[in-house]
């Protein structure tokens, strides 16, 4: 089958389980996302082990956010891993984003706008002047202007950001929930994967709706991944 535009969120502190998740979804998902929990647990060696077992792209989701010099150093430190994507918080500002882009010119520096776990009330309480939509668009523009080649945003901001940044920028969307999945976990601004793709996302991040099936066995997890992939590709 054609790989679906799914980024599998491998959020586990168990390396063997991570390997099994990657194996179970081989040929189904396009990208493997290794986040902060994984990286803190296993470091660069863990990333290399996962990368060696898949031909899917690696999304290193570290959400770097610090002064430009520090972010540049951190980006250079992981450059040898050659991830397709590396996330930085767009709210870190122009100089910080440019520092990451300059440090890793072959990687898609990916600007994270407004976390999908945040509600409009949260956005206001944090101190953003505008609502989530306007804030996300503004952050996306700052990121792209300073070398980011991908943007992370909630499904509800896809259309506005696509219109603002143009067709060449990759939009990656967490906070999607397949129609067959109940609840929204800790996400507050969600759509289905198919709706997100229709609105202009290039990739959708999916974790627990797939990985929770692992408790029923690897075959069950693969079947679940295929079911969701077919839902998107139909």
Q: Which residues of the chain are under the pLDDT cut of 70?
A: 180-190
pLDDT, residue 185, reads 52
pLDDT, residue 32, reads 98
Q: Are 45 and 11 in contact (CB under 8 A)?
A: no
**Three-class SS state of 62:** strand
Cα 36 from Cα 43, distance rounded (Å): 9
Apex CA 109: angle with CA 106 and CA 113, to 5°?
A: 170
Put simply, whether the predicted model's pTM sits higher than 0.85 gets the answer yes
pLDDT, residue 184, reads 47
**Three-class SS state of 31:** strand
Print burial letters for 19-47: b (CB count within 10 Å at least 16), e (below 16): bbbbebbbebbbbbbbbeebbeebeeebb
CATH number at residue 19: 3.20.20.70
Query: Does 63 qualify as catalytic in the annotation?
Result: yes
pLDDT digits (tens, 9 = 90+) for 18-68: 999 999 999 999 999 999 999 999 999 999 999 999 999 999 999 999 999
Out of 48, 63, 84, 98, pick the active-site residue: 63
pLDDT, residue 86, reads 98
In the chain, the number of structural domains is 1
Domain that holds residue 136: 4-233
């Amino acid at each position: 089958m054609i790989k679906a535009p799914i980024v599998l969120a491998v959020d586990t502190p168990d390396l063997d389980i991570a390997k099994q998740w990657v194996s179970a979804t081989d040929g189904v998902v396009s990208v493997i996302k290794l986040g902060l929990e994984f990286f803190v647990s296993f470091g660069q060696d863990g990333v290399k082990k996962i990368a060696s077992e898949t031909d899917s792209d690696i999304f290193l989701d570290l959400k770097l956010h610090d002064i430009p010099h520090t972010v540049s150093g951190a980006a250079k430190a992981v450059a040898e891993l050659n991830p397709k994507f590396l996330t930085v918080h767009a709210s870190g500002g122009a100089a910080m984003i440019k520092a990451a882009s300059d440090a890793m010119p072959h990687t898609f520096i990916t600007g994270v706008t407004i976390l999908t776990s945040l509600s409009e009330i949260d956005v206001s309480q944090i101190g953003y002047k505008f609502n989530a939509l306007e804030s996300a668009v503004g952050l996306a523009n700052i990121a792209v202007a300073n070398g980011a080649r991908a943007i992370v945003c909630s499904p509800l901001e896809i259309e506005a950001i696509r219109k603002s940044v143009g067709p060449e920028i990759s939009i990656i969307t967490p906070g999607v929930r397949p129609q067959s999945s109940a609840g929204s976990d800790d996400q507050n601004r969600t759509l289905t994967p198919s709706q997100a793709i229709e609105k202009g996302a290039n990739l959708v991040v999916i974790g627990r709706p797939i990985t929770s099936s692992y408790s029923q066995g690897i075959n069950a997890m693969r079947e679940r991944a295929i079911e969701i992939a077919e839902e998107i590709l139909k």
